[in-house]
Amino acid sequence: MTAQVEELQFQAETRQLLDLMIHSVYSNKDSFLRELVSNSSDALDKLRLEAYQNKDLDVDTSDLHIDLEIDKDARTLTIRDNGIGMSRAEVVDLIGTLAKSGTAEVRAKLKEAAASEELIGQFGIGFYSTFMVADKVTLLTRRAGETTATRWESSGEGTYTIEEVEGAPQGSSVTLHLKPADDEDHLYDYASEWKVKELVKKYSDFIAWPIRMKSETEVDGEKTVTDETVNSMKALWARSKDDVSEDEYKEFYRHVSHAWDEPLEIIPMKAEGTFEYQALLFIPSQAPFDLFMRESKVGVQLYVKRVFIMDDCDDLIPEYLRFVKGVVDAQDLSLNVSREILQQDRQIRAIRRRLTKKVLSTIRDFDAEKYDTFWSQFGKAIKEGLLSDTDNRDTILEISSFASTHSEEGVTKLSEYVERVKDGQDKIYYMTGDSRQQIESSPHMEAFRDKGIEVLLLTDPVDEVWVGSVPEFDGKAFQSIAKGAVDLESEDEKKATEASREVQEKDFADLLTWMTSTLEENIKEVRLSSRLTTSPACIVGDDFSITPTLEKMYRASGQEVPHMKRILELNPSHPLVTGLKKAQAERSDDTDVAETAELLYGMALLAEGGELEDPAKFTKLLADRLTRTV
C-alpha cells in the first residue's frame, strides 16, 4: 500500500542545473556512473560506521555491496546498494534542492559555458548528472532503522514527485530510464553490459565494496545466472606507487574529492614503527568554489584498518591546507573513535605533524610551472598558516610568493628578494593595500622608487594580519614603508645632508607645531619626511600601530578597537608646503591657512586610499578654494 503522491517544485537554481544536464554540452557523459557508484560507496561506509557506533541499530552488515542491474527491453539501468539509505527529509533536502553550496556561485557558474565541464564536481551535485543519460530517474530509499521507504521520481522538468512506500529493502536504488544511444552526442548505449563493465573498471575499480552484476553463461544449452564482481576492490593507498597507473590515481582523486579537475600532485606515504599508518594525499590543480567559505570542508578521509571512519577529518590536516584531499588509514586506532577522542589522541597529532610537513616540503620542491599553478590557486590559503602554524612558519615563508616592484608581472619568493637586496639593507620592505595600482601610486613609494629599492606589494586581506606577527625572514626584519621613520641614506649621504637637515628642522619648527595643534583631532604629530620626493604630504603609522585597513577589518568582525591617530609627514621641498610655511608665519590666525592645512591632510589621506571622516566638508573647502582661482 502506498501513500499519496506529492508533487514538489525544484529550487530555482536546481531547475537551471537540470536544464543544463538535459541539454548537456558535456562530452564525458560516462561519468554519471562514477557519481552514482561513489554515492553508493559512501552510503555503505556510513552504514558500517553507524553499526559500530550504535549497537541498537538492527542492520545486517555481513554482505554490504553495490548491484548494477540492466533491463535491455525496458532500457533501464539500476544502481542499488544496501547502505545507510535516506529519510524522506534527507531526500527533499539533498536532491530536491541544490544542497549546501552557495546558490549565487552556482547561478554565476551556470552562465559561464566554459565552466560547465567542472560544474558537477565543483558543487558536489553528481546525482543530477543522471539527467545527461536518462529521460526519467527513480530513487527508492529506506534509511537504516526506519520501516518506511521514500520513492522520488523526476523527468528533470522543474518538478518531482515523492511518496512513502512500505516493504522496500534498506538502502537506496537509482533507476535510470535511459535515453536512446547517440554517438554524435557522446551518448553511448548504457543498457549494454560490456559498456557498464568498462565504465566500472575505468572509474570505480578501487571502490572498497564489491560491485556486482548478473552474468549469464550457457553450457550445453543450459543457461546459468551468477553474480559477478566487476571491480578489484584494491585500496590504492595500500599499493606501491609503481603498481598504480596515473589514470587510477586520477579517478581515485575524483572519488575522494568529488571534483573533476586532475590532481596537481600525488603524495603517497607510509609510516612504520611506534604507530603505523598509510596515506594517499592529493594537491588539486584547481581551487574548490568554497575554499574561503565558512562551510568549506576541511580534512581528509580517515580509515582504521581499511574501515571508513569519517569524511573531512579536520584533526589530520590544518585548516590552511584544507584544499588537500585524500585518505589516511591508521592501524592502531579504535573503530569507535569519535571526533572528540581524535582531538586528544597523541597518534593523530603526530600523524597531523608528519602530513603537514610532507605537504609543505612537496610544495617547496615543485618546479616553476607547477608552483605557479599552485600559488595562483591556493596562495591566499597558505598564508593563513603564517598566523596559525608557528612550528612550520619558516617553511611557509619559504614557499610563499608576493607581488613586487621588481616585476610588473608574476610574483617573487622571499629568498629571491633577499638575493637582490642592496648592500647594507637589513630589512624587507613591504606595503599593504587594496590593489597593486593603489600601492604603486602611494606617496610612500616615492623615495623607494627613486633609490631603486624593491618593495613587496601585499594586497590580500590576510597580508594585513600576518605581517604584524612574523618578525623576519633570513635575518631581515619585515618593515612597512607606511610605518615609522624611513632611513634610506647611506652613512656618507647622512653626513652630507646633516647640516641642511638641521636647518630645515629649525625653519619648519613653527609650522610643525602649529599644524600638530590645528589637526590634533585627526593626527598625533606633524613632522618632516625623508620618503617624499614629489608629493606634498603622506600619512604614516607608528612602528607598532595597526593599519586603517586592519582597523576596519576588526570592526567589521565585531571587535572594537580604539581609533589610532597617525603621523602627517611633510615634504619640505614641495611648493605647497613651503607656501603654507610662509603663509602661517605671516598670518597664523587666518582661517584660510587652517583650511589649507585641512586640505593638505585630506589629500594625503586620499592619496593612500583612505577614507575622509567628513567628505562633504572636504569637498566644500576644495570647491571654495577652486572658485577663488577661476
In the annotated binding site, the residues are 35, 39, 81, 86, 100-102, 122-127, 339
The residue with cell 579517478 is 251
For 118, the enclosing helix (H) or strand (E) is: helix 116-123
Tell me the C-alpha distance between 467 and 446, whole Å.
22
Q: Which residues contact 617 (CB under 8 A, 6 or more apart)?
A: none
Tell me the C-alpha distance between 271 and 234, whole Å.
19
Do residues 77 and 190 make contact, with C-beta atoms less than 8 angstroms apart?
A: yes
- Which residues define the annotated binding site for ATP? 35, 39, 81, 86, 100-102, 122-127, 339
Q: Which residues contact 361 (CB under 8 A, 6 or more apart)?
A: 395
DSSP strand pairing (277-284 vs 476-480): unpaired
CA-to-CA dists, residue 494 to 428, 480, 489, 498, 500, angstroms: 21, 22, 6, 6, 10
CA-to-CA dists, residue 403 to 167, 410, 422, 430, angstroms: 64, 7, 19, 10
Do residues 293 and 323 make contact, with C-beta atoms less than 8 angstroms apart?
A: no
Give the type of residue at 435.
Answer: S
CA-based radius of gyration for the chain: 33
Q: What are the cell numbers at 355?
A: 602530513
Q: 37 — phi, psi (to 5°)?
A: -65, -40
DSSP strand pairing (401-404 vs 407-413): antiparallel
Q: What are the cell numbers at 96?
A: 530536491
Q: What are the cell numbers at 328?
A: 589516511
Q: 68 — phi, psi (to 5°)?
A: -115, 125
Tell me the C-alpha distance between 179 and 188, whole Å.
9
Judged on CB neighbours under 10 Å (0-12, 13-18, 19+), 344 is exposed
The residue with cell 600601492 is 439
CA-to-CA dists, residue 131 to 31, 103, 143, 156, 506, angstroms: 12, 20, 24, 7, 81
DSSP state of 95: I
Q: Which residues contact 442 (CB under 8 A, 6 or more apart)?
A: 431, 433, 482, 538, 607, 608, 609
The residue with cell 592619496 is 607
DSSP state of 132: G
